[in-house]
Amino acid sequence: MFDWLWRLLNYILSPFKTPTILIVGPPGSGKTTLLHMVKTGRFITFESTKSYCKETLSFEQSNVTFIDLGDSYKGFESLEEFSQNVSGIVLVVDASDSDSVNNAKKYLDSIYNLQVYKTKNIPVLIFGNKQDVVGCISREELKERLNIVEKKSKHEKVNPETTRVQVQMMSAKQNFGYQLGLRWLVSKARTV
């Protein structure tokens, strides 16, 4: 009975929420560069980030809190700890590096097992970064390698885990793709 009331209240207040987005991914995929792009609009490469960073930034006229786990949090154990109060997750993948893509599959499987993913229905945005690099895989190949299937007809069965997952190709270096993906994620995260 109260479920519909809670959803209505959540919908009405959603424009005023400050979503918290967790940024994860294999080392060297561009997590910190992405956060810097959102913050300044400029591309800068970073050395391996040793600690996590939490910042509340303005994105398209609203505040969003981002938590970049960096590379020192090697593990999937850290995901559960840091994901407790998030309303969305960004998985950044170096789509020009086969090892990064293989590692991203492990991250995605861990995300599917998070308690917050199972109970709060949080959205996941996968960025296929480094589209400016020769030999980078396509969106379709990345989806295939991560086992993400989109529903093609109303009778076709799909993996229920992938219905809240969006794949967006981007290049931080050439400044394209990340705004579109974050726009989708922030709009979904406000309703969590």
Residue 181: closest CA among 21, 1, 51: 21
Give the pLDDT confidence score for residue 190 in this predicted structure: 72
131 among the known binding-site residues?
yes
130 among the known binding-site residues?
yes
The pTM assigned to this predicted structure is: 0.81
Give the pLDDT confidence score for residue 118 in this predicted structure: 78
Give the pLDDT confidence score for residue 5 in this predicted structure: 65
CB contact burial 100-119 (16+ within 10 A = b; e otherwise): bbebbeebbebbeebebbee
Are residues 128 and 169 in contact, defined by beta-carbon separation less than 8 angstroms? yes
75 among the known binding-site residues?
no
**Rounded average pLDDT per 10-residue block, the chain, 192 residues:** 62 66 89 83 70 78 84 62 84 94 90 81 93 94 88 53 81 90 87 70
30 among the known binding-site residues?
yes
- Tracing tokens 């391996």 back to the chain, one arrives at 48
25 among the known binding-site residues?
yes
> Cα torsion at 183, 109, 150, 70 (round to 10°)?
20
Domain ranges of the chain: 19-59+69-189
CA distances from residue 116 to 66, 88, 105, 109 in whole angstroms, order as listed: 17, 10, 19, 14
31 among the known binding-site residues?
yes
Superfamily of domain 19-59+69-189: P-loop containing nucleotide triphosphate hydrolases (3.40.50.300)
